[in-house]
A and B are shown apart, each in its own frame.
Chain A
Amino acid sequence: MMRLSKTLNKSPGGTVSGSWLILAVVRALVVILCVMTAVFFIIRIVPGDPAKMILGEYSTPEAIQNMRHTLGLDLPLWEQFFRFVKTLFTQGDTGNSIISGTSTRALIAERAPVTLLLIGMACVLAVVVALLLAVLAATHKDQLADHLIRVIPTITLGMPVFWVGLLLILLFSVRLHWFPVGGIGEGWTGTLYSLTLPAITVAFSQIPTLVRSLRAQMLEVLESDFVVTLKAAGIPSRVVLFKHVLRNSALPTLMLLGVNISYLIGGTLVVEQVFGIKGIGSLLFSSIAKRDFPVIQGIALYCAVSVVIISLLIEIISWWLDPRTRGKQ
């Protein structure tokens, strides 16, 4: 696959685009297949018997044997895998919940909207704040503002996201009473309002890395020939900044978000737990508490597949918008 992409990059011309697209899609599909296999093995590679974990330490051998049978763990490994793949393609999930009998897909679909909304809000917030800080730092290079902004990643890198959430609750909910302590409000405005603090928490964990890379990107653009020319032509620096520099930073921001999307989803799951939001994160933790393996596997599968698809889409968009990124994959 690697060799193929190398030869593709060498040959210029229109035919490359189609082949590149096919190659990227094939690569993503292969990764998705690997992800499915990993989800199958995730509860099998670690020590400990899932059946015993579900029933507890003091269960009888017969009960464990029955549970192994229910889970299909008494079958040979290849047959277990065959069953797993079959369920995946016929039902589109990892089987039914051991506790409620509901399909994993239905359980996840029920919880997904609030999690997706939270991720979306956090993304918008992170991008806006990071862009503002990056512009401020880049336009005031080596001045006080720049130094202060460059210190941010050093300080925030070691901040546990759940702890930041707790501090925000302490300050804005307990002391100032601006926001609810947790849960989801009524209606659209209520939902958005109650998700504000969680979204700030998730965004907070993303901003440092975004600012660091965007500042470097922006300095590169600010010092490039075309910006110097525009300024020399007498175009006001504000116009240059907002019309040209920011536009040139949009794509790197998008690509950075693509790289970080996996981390963002993981952080969201933890933040949901802190704020008592009934999304995918709380489904994960309640399934862990009940030892509901199919649901845990289902969440892992849906999250990972979404990450692969989002990364692919961002790769395609940036490739389509900016020829310079072609071949950098």
Chain B
Amino acid sequence: MNPIQIDSPRPMGGRKISLASRVWNTPSLLVGGLMFAVLIGLAVFIPFISPYQPSEQNLSAFLQPPSSEHWLGTDQLGRDLFTRLIYAARTDLKIMVLAEIIPFCTGVFLGMLAGYYGKWLNTMISLLTDTLIAFPFYLIVIIVAFASGAGERGIYITFMLVGWIVFARVVKGLSASFREQEWVASAQTLGLPGVRIILRHLLPNVLPQAIVVLMTDMIGLLVAIVTLGYLGIGITPPTPDWGTMIADGRSFITTAWWLSAVPGLAVVYTGIALSLVGDGLADLWRKK
């Protein structure tokens, strides 16, 4: 089934060690993974780290600068900025991951179908992607999110509609190039059904590249979630979200600029972490 393993001179045990050492020799994967782990750790353990609640108001201590009591200061309602920032990570990262599942699966599947079967199926799927891609990303995101109502549901619907395109395009190209190779031809000669070839042979080969694309795409999705929140058609208050936090801080940009700057930095931090993980995974699979 898997000729690589049969031909491999390495003993089975050696594979694991080589994987660990390969990971160890990919610094971007390590650093990115660590950065992301720190964020997830904070988001999980924030109730034990912070004595404040994300929506707990204290009107006698509003717009305070950073201090030992409030690490990043407080906002216009006296809410602790650090606490809100980490609770917002819970909201935004959860939506980021959940909103990516269906588009990823749909995109990979349609891409494989279009690339493997080609012909009219490819023409149809290409026409669909060309049509959707003609709409500026933020235009379609804003319109669909608005039409399906603000809040989490709108975000999921939006990305179900437009998020799959990038995966379909990448996987289609890969699948089409694999189709020309001998191992697919031999599988066909053996009389294996198309579905089996796609799922057992094509899928494992396109998945690494698709996952690298997924990392970059998640950054774009996170930025889009935050942008929708900023524009008032994403996450609705009082749920903490980086986008609405930046929007709220806007009115105080002359006096308390960190209210808008810090949530943005959180997005940038997450972006760097995911970007490094993506680069690292690409390196890792290339070395193989």
B122 touches A163 (CB 8 A): no
Kindly specify which of B104-112, B196-204, B263-271 makes contact with the partner chain. Answer: B263-271
B143 touches A308 (CB 8 A): no
Confirm or deny: A38 has a beta carbon within 8 angstroms of a beta carbon on chain B: yes
Determine how close the nearest CB of chain A comes to the CB of B7; give it in whole angstroms: 33
A163, A269, A311: the one within 8 Å of B264 (CB):
A163
A134 to B76, CA, bound (A): 44
Determine how close the nearest CB of chain A comes to the CB of B277; give it in whole angstroms: 11
A154, A267, A300: the one within 8 Å of B140 (CB):
A300
- Chain B: interface residue count, which band? 35 or more
A157 contacts across to B, CB distance below 8 A? 216, 219-220, 271-272, 275
B269 contacts across to A, CB distance below 8 A? 158
A2 touches B123 (CB 8 A): yes
The proximity string for B residues 27-54 relative to A, scoring 1 for CB distances below 8 Å and 0 otherwise, is 0000000000000000000000000000
Near B by CB (< 8 A), chain A positions 298-317 give 299-300, 303-305, 307-308, 311
A161 to B136, CA, bound (A): 15
Confirm or deny: A35 has a beta carbon within 8 angstroms of a beta carbon on chain B: yes
A158 touches B223 (CB 8 A): yes
Kindly specify which of B16-24, B77-85, B126-134 makes contact with the partner chain. Answer: B126-134
A47 to B147, CA, bound (A): 8
Confirm or deny: A230 has a beta carbon within 8 angstroms of a beta carbon on chain B: no
A262 touches B142 (CB 8 A): no
* Known interface pairs A157-B275, A266-B136, A307-B136; A46-B147 also in contact (CB < 8 Å): yes
B239 contacts across to A, CB distance below 8 A? none
Nearest residue, chain A, Cβ from B273: A158
A262 touches B136 (CB 8 A): yes
- Chain A: interface residue count, which band? 35 or more
A48 touches B130 (CB 8 A): no
What are 27 pairs between A and B in contact, CB < 8 Å?
Answer: A3-B119, A34-B131, A35-B131, A38-B131, A46-B157, A47-B149, A48-B149, A154-B279, A157-B272, A158-B267, A159-B223, A159-B267, A160-B226, A160-B243, A160-B246, A163-B260, A166-B246, A170-B260, A174-B253, A174-B254, A174-B257, A269-B142, A273-B231, A284-B139, A303-B139, A304-B134, A305-B134
Given contacts A53-B147, A307-B134, 16 further A-B contacts (CB under 8 A): A2-B126, A48-B149, A153-B275, A157-B220, A158-B270, A160-B227, A161-B223, A166-B250, A262-B134, A262-B136, A265-B136, A266-B136, A285-B231, A300-B139, A303-B136, A307-B135
**Chain B residues with a Cβ under 8 A of chain A:** 118-119, 122-123, 126-128, 130-144, 146-149, 157, 161, 216, 219-220, 222-223, 226-227, 230-231, 233, 243, 246, 250, 253-254, 257, 260-261, 264, 267-272, 274-276, 279
Q: Top 5 nearest A-B pairs by Cβ distance?
A: A158-B271, A266-B138, A266-B136, A163-B264, A34-B131
**Chain A residues with a Cβ under 8 A of chain B:** 1-3, 30-31, 34-35, 38, 42-43, 45-48, 50, 53, 153-155, 157-163, 166-167, 169-170, 174, 262-267, 269-270, 273, 284-285, 288, 296, 299-300, 303-305, 307-308, 311
